[in-house]
Amino acid sequence: MLTLADLTSRTGLDVLSHLEREAAIPVIEGLQAQGDLIVVPFADLTEVMIVPDAYWREVPGSGIDVLRGGAGGNPHTLVADPGACRWTTGVRDNTGLALGVLAAIGVAYLVHPEHGGSGIAPGTYVIRRQRERGRLPSRLSDTAIMSRFIAD
Amino acid sequence: MKGPGWTTRPAASFQFPAGLRDEWLSTGLSTEPADRTTAEASVTELYRLIGEPCPSFQWVPSPAAAIEITRASPDRFPLIRLRSADTSRRCRGGRLVAAALATLHSDLRSSLDRRIERRPSGSDWLRPRTADALVFTPEDALLSGIGLEDVLEAAIYRSLRGTLRDAIAIPLRSALAAALGDADNRDNKATGFCWWGQHDAYWVARYDIWQRSGLARYRPSDQRELNLWAALARSAGWWWPGRGLCVLSERPVTLHAEPTPGSHHGVLRLHRADGPALVFGDGFGICVVHGTPVPEWVMSRPTVELIRRELNVEVRRTAIERLGWDAYIRQAGLSLVASRPDPGNPGAPLSLYDDLADGRILVVTNGTPEPDGRRRRYGINVPASFDDPAEAAAWTYGLTGGHYGLLARRT
């Protein structure tokens, strides 16, 4: 099992200094959340499909940012041993929330500067982001819900 | 690689010119007084190139002060719309100095672009390889086989543009337009047509660094013209070219910025928690918190009434966080609908509040502590139809309440 210290030294990613660096990161095969992202076993989300011509990238040792930081947000980076994990953004999701799908034959990790590390057991998972209800100008019907993404 | 402007060189042995980028970045962020002699000489030469006589110059402490002058003289600073009919060469020598300058500038960039073999740089479309280069450091990108052209585009042009144009100049222009009561600023109707001086460094640097790294050579006349824009970027703030008169602004006197999270290429954004992030000599300034431009009341007196009236979600969030979520819930008199434990997040409740003015708000607690050991609480707007906090939390991730209940861990 890896610690946050192992992960940061392997990948060169940085996390905030107050996070617990020496404890082993739990590796989970079910549902887990990292701030504004959630990792969902692929089999549990029947409404998410991988498109037929999806392009799969091998996740390099230095990682792939599955969500880059925008206004107010930090990146969530997917890392794994070379050859152990592939990632595709070629997905269709009725909610529009899926960022992509990862398929791992070894343990993969999500790393975030403020949330630390999340261990993902071998398997296939959807990574979704979080939304909230937007505000509507009063002249519009309040039954129409505009949603927006959350960035932390 | 082809064309007379090219020097071929193996990418792997290329040293990424980080020093040149940083030099242009500090030019763009400079808070030094303007070098008026250099700026005036460069503007004079640009006027000469479009067949205009040397204008007189008026220096002001801020872009806001400049706009007061240009709006008072519509004959010298007519509104222009940058359509082809307005910018055609037939206008040269006529009244539309700004349009003629825009044409001069556009011709220069087309000519320089041909020498560095790229599609026009104004495009917001990324080539796939430039997109790849954005997520690597320049060194890693080159090692992984991404071409030099794409690495330079990501690490220099996109980086400087992200900081100087997107994070500074555009929020500044929006604030100027909003202060004049015309937030739309269509065709620059409120702010008038101007150049950005130091903030034009983002595009000047692109051509300059290609040339200074020995990767491109330009025609001597193009090089001389580029040098004029470079000199203006190094010497002044924003400037408004008019007939017979050019109004130039000093640079800001204070600028507070922080790294934009997630940038591999040193992009910065404005940020100051205790005052305006960008301030000019006459006191004109703009408030920006972690890259989000906010009205002044958010900094000085965030109140429930003002927060409720605000339509922009980012501004609301920033204002509520300055007030504190607990204080906001108390002062706004939000009533608790239901509360229950957050699965996978021991000791943290999911609390659903009813805000009569604004649907429902789910108040959650971060799974990870802040540097001071506390865990941050914050609100997420959810549809008013939810009565169960777990259902509401599930909705934010597109799940059902039962599914969300299986959450094993939250960090």
The secondary structure of B271-308, three-state, reads CCCCCCCEECCCCCEEEEECCEEECHHHHHCCCHHHHH
The answer to whether B82 and B102 are in contact (CB under 8 A) is: yes
Q: What pLDDT, on a 0 to 100 scale, did the predictor assign at position B306? A: 92
Whole-angstrom distance, CA of residue A42 vs CA of residue B37: 65
Does residue B404 fall inside a structural domain? yes
The answer to whether B48 and B93 are in contact (CB under 8 A) is: no
**A97/B398 touch (CB, cutoff 8 Å), yes or no:** yes
The C-alpha angle with vertex B399 and arms to B398 and B403, in degrees rounded to 5, equals: 165
pLDDT higher than threshold 90 for residue B222: yes
The residues, ordered by sequence, that sit 6+ positions from B292 with a Cβ below 8 Å of its Cβ are A71, A72, B314, B315, B318
Kindly state whether residues B343 and B231 are assigned to the same domain. no
B177 phi, psi to nearest 5 deg: -65, -40
> What are the chain A neighbours of B375 within 8 Å (beta carbons)?
none
- Residue B26 C-alpha, separation from nearest chain A C-alpha, in angstroms: 22
Confidence of residue B16 (pLDDT cuts 50, 70, 90): confident
Final residue belonging to a domain, choices B209, B228, B253: B253
Average pLDDT over residues B242-257: 96
Give the domain extent around B127: 11-253
Give the A:B interface size as CB pairs under 8 Å.
119
């009063």: which residue's tokens? A138
Does residue B172 fall inside a structural domain? yes
Percentage with pLDDT > 90 across chain A: 49
Q: What pLDDT, on a 0 to 100 scale, did the predictor assign at position B10? A: 45
> What are the chain A neighbours of B398 within 8 Å (beta carbons)?
93, 95, 97, 128, 131
pLDDT higher than threshold 80 for residue B219: yes
SS3 percent helix, strand, coil of chain B, rounded to 5, is: 45, 15, 40
Kindly state whether residues B248 and B340 are assigned to the same domain. no
Final residue belonging to a domain, choices B216, B231, B253: B253
Give chain B's domain count.
2
Confidence of residue A12 (pLDDT cuts 50, 70, 90): confident
Does residue B202 fall inside a structural domain? yes
Q: Tokens for B340, please give them.
A: 């229950």
Confidence of residue A143 (pLDDT cuts 50, 70, 90): very low
Helix then strand count (H, E) for chain A reads: 1, 15
**B396/A130 touch (CB, cutoff 8 Å), yes or no:** yes
Kindly state whether residues B33 and B162 are assigned to the same domain. yes
Whole-angstrom distance, CA of residue B8 vs CA of residue B216: 10
- Most confident range (mean pLDDT) of A114-118, B214-218, B224-228 is B224-228
Q: Is B128 on the interface with A (CB under 8 A)?
A: no
Q: What pLDDT, on a 0 to 100 scale, did the predictor assign at position A139? A: 44
pLDDT higher than threshold 70 for residue B92: no
Kindly state whether residues B229 and B342 are assigned to the same domain. no
Does residue B281 fall inside a structural domain? no
CA distances to A125, B211, B213, B361, B380 from A85, rounded to whole Å, are 11, 41, 38, 37, 33
Q: In 3D, which of B77, B93, B34, B95 has the Cα closest to residue B241?
A: B77
Kindly state whether residues B242 and B356 are assigned to the same domain. no
Q: What pLDDT, on a 0 to 100 scale, did the predictor assign at position A79? A: 93
Q: Which of A19, A64, A95 is opposite residue B368, by nearest beta carbon?
A: A19
The answer to whether B146 and B153 are in contact (CB under 8 A) is: no
Q: What pLDDT, on a 0 to 100 scale, did the predictor assign at position B357? A: 65
**B262/A74 touch (CB, cutoff 8 Å), yes or no:** yes
pTM of the full predicted structure?
0.76
Whole-angstrom distance, CA of residue A69 vs CA of residue A72: 7
Kindly state whether residues B246 and B129 are assigned to the same domain. yes
**B408/A30 touch (CB, cutoff 8 Å), yes or no:** yes
> What are the chain A neighbours of B408 within 8 Å (beta carbons)?
28, 30-32
- Residue B392 C-alpha, separation from nearest chain A C-alpha, in angstroms: 10
Per-residue pLDDT tens over the stretch B100-145: 999 999 999 999 988 886 544 555 555 666 766 776 777 777 777 7
Q: In 3D, which of A44, A39, A27, A57 has the Cα closest to residue A120?
A: A27
Does residue B362 fall inside a structural domain? yes
> How many other C-beta atoms can be found within 10 angstroms of the C-beta atom of residue B230?
20
CA distances to B44, B82, B133 from B123, rounded to whole Å, are 30, 17, 17
**A73/B262 touch (CB, cutoff 8 Å), yes or no:** yes
> What are the chain A neighbours of B382 within 8 Å (beta carbons)?
132-133
Kindly state whether residues B203 and B342 are assigned to the same domain. no
> What are the chain A neighbours of B344 within 8 Å (beta carbons)?
31-33
- Residue A5 C-alpha, separation from nearest chain B C-alpha, in angstroms: 16
- Residue B121 C-alpha, separation from nearest chain A C-alpha, in angstroms: 22
> How many other C-beta atoms can be found within 10 angstroms of the C-beta atom of residue B186?
9
Does residue B319 fall inside a structural domain? no
Q: Give Rg (Cα) of chain A.
A: 16
- Of residues A95 and A138, more confidence is placed in A95
Whole-angstrom distance, CA of residue B151 vs CA of residue B158: 10
- A57-58/A85-88 β-pairing: antiparallel
> Considering only alpha carbons, which residue of chain A is nearest residue B386?
A133
Q: In 3D, which of B46, B372, B60, B403 has the Cα closest to residue B238?
A: B60
Per-residue pLDDT tens over the stretch A35-45: 889 999 999 99
Whole-angstrom distance, CA of residue A150 vs CA of residue A72: 10
Does residue B92 fall inside a structural domain? yes
- Residue B401 C-alpha, separation from nearest chain A C-alpha, in angstroms: 13
- What DSSP designation does B3 have? S
Does residue B301 fall inside a structural domain? no
Kindly state whether residues B235 and B342 are assigned to the same domain. no
The answer to whether B269 and B49 are in contact (CB under 8 A) is: no
Q: Tokens for B88, please give them.
A: 């055609």
CA distances to A114, B147, B165, B184 from B370, rounded to whole Å, are 8, 40, 32, 39
Range name among A56-60, B76-80, B217-221, B399-403 with the lowest pLDDT average = B76-80
- Residue A32 C-alpha, separation from nearest chain B C-alpha, in angstroms: 5
Kindly state the greatest CA–CA separation across chain A: 55
The C-alpha angle with vertex B87 and arms to B249 and B176, in degrees rounded to 5, equals: 30
- Residue B375 C-alpha, separation from nearest chain A C-alpha, in angstroms: 11
Final residue belonging to a domain, choices B253, B277, B295: B253
**B314/A71 touch (CB, cutoff 8 Å), yes or no:** yes
Q: Which of A3, A132, A139 to mutate to test the interface with B (most CBs of B within 10 A)?
A: A132
Whole-angstrom distance, CA of residue A104 vs CA of residue A117: 17
Per-residue pLDDT tens over the stretch B167-179: 999 999 999 998 8
Kindly state whether residues B105 and B234 are assigned to the same domain. yes
Percentage with pLDDT > 90 across chain B: 59
Kindly state whether residues B33 and B132 are assigned to the same domain. yes
Share the mean pLDDT of chain A.
85
Whole-angstrom distance, CA of residue B250 vs CA of residue B237: 5
Per-residue pLDDT tens over the stretch B324-376: 888 999 998 899 999 999 998 998 999 999 986 668 999 999 888 887 888 88
Whole-angstrom distance, CA of residue B37 vs CA of residue B225: 18
- What DSSP designation does B264 have? S
The distance in angstroms from the start CA to the end CA of chain A is 27
Q: What pLDDT, on a 0 to 100 scale, did the predictor assign at position A128? A: 96
Kindly state whether residues B124 and B243 are assigned to the same domain. yes
Q: What pLDDT, on a 0 to 100 scale, did the predictor assign at position B153? A: 84
- Residue A57 C-alpha, separation from nearest chain B C-alpha, in angstroms: 11
Kindly state whether residues B111 and B238 are assigned to the same domain. yes
**B316/A135 touch (CB, cutoff 8 Å), yes or no:** yes
Give the residues across from B74 on adjacent strands: none
Task: Give strand ranges (E) for A47-97.
Answer: 48-50, 57-58, 64-67, 76-80, 85-88, 91-93
Interface of B with A in 324-343 (CB under 8 A): none
**B262/A38 touch (CB, cutoff 8 Å), yes or no:** no
**B261/A75 touch (CB, cutoff 8 Å), yes or no:** yes
Q: Is B13 on the interface with A (CB under 8 A)?
A: no
Q: What pLDDT, on a 0 to 100 scale, did the predictor assign at position A144? A: 45
> What are the chain B neighbours of A137 within 8 Å (beta carbons)?
311
